[in-house]
Structure 1
Amino acid sequence: MAWNEPGNNDNDPWKNKGGKNQGPPDLDELLNDLGKKVTGIFGGKTSQGGSGKSFSSIGITILLIIGLIVYAFSGFYTIKEAERGIVLRFGQYSGTVEPGLRWKWTFIERIIPVDMQSTRDLPASGFMLTQDENVVRVDMQIQYRVVDARNYIFSVTDADQSLRESLDSALRYVVGHAKMDDILTSGREQIRQSVWQELEKIIEPYSLGLIIVDVNFKDARPPNEVKDAFDDAIAAQEDEIRFIREAEAYARGIEPRARGRVKRMEQEAIAYKEQTVLDAQGEVARFEKILPEYKAAPEVTRQRLYLATMERVYSNTSKVMVDVEGGNNMMYLPLDKIIGQQSSGRTTTQSYTPATQPTTSINTSPSTSTSGRSDRFNSGRN
């Protein structure tokens, strides 16, 4: 018969083991012993008849202790260096905490971290109507940063969305009061500054806790249907500006050179004038010195002037006059041609003798011989 069949069966393997009535440990007894030990640790007293009640109070105490520990550790949090923490106590603003390790009352306080140092981007674009009733697509982007965490969270429902709508309003207002040529070409910087000022004017009453760092005018273009015509117009305007700049550069380059030439010509004219005056004064002084001598000996003075003039004339030429012995003819040697032929290699040597036919002859007058003039010429030079 099996040990666990109904009836009087004492074949339980946990009993009478080793000759003694031994069985499996009783769960109630284990819990009772554990409760006594815990109660002893905390200084409590055990009761003989209330083991279940003692165990329940001990369990609750342990759970409370564990819950307090978990609650204490759950209250620690960290605020990053670039953030500020908004403290809400029962949903109401209680203050702002600085970066670092902090502690809060869990389930009572709530912390909202707000990034205060990062620069955020916000784009805006769309087709807009200009003052001269043209349609243009404008792309713009702003950069902003949070400066007041409380206003950023509580001033409006969504500060970023409010800023987006304000940017769109400011952009359309400025574009609507500007001409299309200014938007596409030379007025872009003015449009950017006007949008910046108008945006700050719009968001100032709302106290969004934001500051506009920069406004970037990214692009402005006409609709695709008329883009080619506007591109041609813009190219023509750019060519006009380029031609004007080139003309101004040419004028700046040529004008100083012209002024320099004018100054040089003026200086040369002044120098020529002074030289002419000085030459004339020198001739006058020379004439005044020669005049008394001419009055004293006219013939001698006339011959001296003639010889001095011939010396000055022949000193500037390469022709040499030769007095032919025994005749009344004088010939000259074309030394310039001879030197030129020798330098070019076409003539190596040429010899001339008194018997050679002269190239040019000069007939002397009977009253004055050639040799006499030559002697006087030589004596004058000496």
Structure 2
Amino acid sequence: MFEPGGSRQQPEIKVEEIINKIGAGIGRVAQRFGGGGMKIIGLGAILLLTLLWLGTGVYTVGPRERAALQLFGAFQTIQGPGLHWYFPGPIGKKTIVDVMNTRSMELGFFTTATGTVTDQSEEALMITGDLNIVNVQMVVQYKIGDLEKYLFRVDDPGETLRDVQPGLPDGRTLKDATEASLRQVVGQRSIDDILVTRREEVESDTSIKLQEILDEYEAGLQILNVALQTVRPPDEVRAAFDDVVNARVDKESRINEANAYEQDRLPKAQGEARVIIQGAEAFKAEKVAIATGEADRFDSVLEEYNKSKEVTRQRLYLEAMEEILPGVRKFVLTEDANGNLLQFLPLTDDADVKVVEP
């Protein structure tokens, strides 16, 4: 609900009434002392009256307040907290306002003093960027940012519904600027952005636009916060929109479930992949080592073969026969035996190697 007020003016002294009372008193005294005493009493009365009048210029400004000073109706300066003196009325005028007070204004609805909420459809119904109609209710929180501009730059007609008196920008100026800002932001976005996905962006953009308009008007108001309240489609199509919202919620739920499944399965799959990769690398290293060893062995055999071809050929032949005929007792006959089988060379492990001479 809008919170009007927040300013107070120092009471003005009714000089004419005081003069009349003092004049009556002087008349009664003059009847006693005659004409000479009349002059002295008159001067004393004038001096006393002047001191009393000057004394009414003393005023105090609280820690949260500021005082706007006027001289013959023209604005002079802003006075901060403390005890001060300024020309009393009707020469000077002091308007003391609580500039730290956070005020609020409701758009699209109105809360009465008893707490009853009344919708204001003419303020709340707006057209979105995708040509849908949406009911938007919002609360604006603000405070006085520039007291001079707040008091003297805007002549507001006031607003009867929210009990705002004419003269200050808290009335129609603020309400119309807020409504214009919100309609512009809503008209640039889809209904989904306003209902669900980008409410914070709508609030931020509305606050920025509203502050720009108020600064252009020199209203002296500082926007503190813009908060969307109830945002809904019109009652005629609310059921259809509720179905869309429910479907969107289901979609988000399925997406979250899929993401959770992914987070569960992906590490396991990555671990299994690493195991397979490590096994393949080990197999590769083993095969490369074997192939390298066989190649080195071949090179060494080739080197020996080049040195003594017959001996190497005979050794390779014997090694091949031993590999081809495992577990068979084998005898090697030399050429010197001349066909005599009694001279032989046993090659098995279970017999001593002997060369039999004929």
Q: Secondary structure at the match of 2:170?
A: helix
Alignment of 1:265-280 (within 5 A): 265-271=276-282
Structure 2 match to 1:295:
330
The structure-2 alpha-carbon separation of the partners of 1:275 and 1:228, relative to structure 1 and needing over 3 Å to count, comes to same
Alignment of 1:1-382 (within 5 A): 51-54=33-36, 56-57=38-39, 59-61=41-43, 63-107=45-89, 108-125=91-108, 126-157=124-155, 158-161=168-171, 162-271=173-282, 294-295=329-330, 297=346
Structure 2 residues not aligned, in runs of 5+: 1-27, 109-123, 156-167, 295-318, 332-345, 352-358
What one-letter code is carried by the residue in structure 1 that aligns with 2:73?
G
**Is the 2:142–2:225 Cα contact (8 Å) retained in structure 1?**
yes
What one-letter code is carried by the residue in structure 1 that aligns with 2:183?
R
**Is the 2:135–2:233 Cα contact (8 Å) retained in structure 1?**
yes
CA distance in 2, matches of 1:121, 1:50: 64
Report which structure shows greater RCO (CA 8 Å, sep ≥6): 2
| 1:37-79 alpha-carbon deviations (Å, 9 max, x no partner) | xxxxxxxxxxxx9844356445545543442342232221111
The structure-2 alpha-carbon separation of the partners of 1:217 and 1:295, relative to structure 1 and needing over 3 Å to count, comes to farther
CA distance in 1, matches of 2:57, 2:218: 32
Percent identical: 31
TM-score by length of 2: 0.60
The structure-2 alpha-carbon separation of the partners of 1:51 and 1:260, relative to structure 1 and needing over 3 Å to count, comes to closer
Report the number of matched residues.
Answer: 255
Measured after TM superposition, the shift of residue 97 of structure 1 is 1.7
CA distance in 1, matches of 2:218, 2:287: 88
Based on CA coordinates, which of the two structures has the bigger radius of gyration?
Answer: 1
**Is the 1:137–1:220 Cα contact (8 Å) retained in structure 2?**
yes
CA distance in 2, matches of 1:294, 1:198: 105
Structure 1 residues not aligned, in runs of 5+: 1-33, 37-48, 303-382
CA distance in 2, matches of 1:93, 1:275: 96
Indicate the larger mover: 61-70 or 221-230: 61-70
Measured after TM superposition, the shift of residue 86 of structure 1 is 1.1
The structure-2 alpha-carbon separation of the partners of 1:300 and 1:230, relative to structure 1 and needing over 3 Å to count, comes to same
Backbone CA RMSD of aligned residues = 3.8
TM-score by length of 1: 0.56
**Is the 1:293–1:301 Cα contact (8 Å) retained in structure 2?**
no
CA distance in 1, matches of 2:97, 2:87: 20
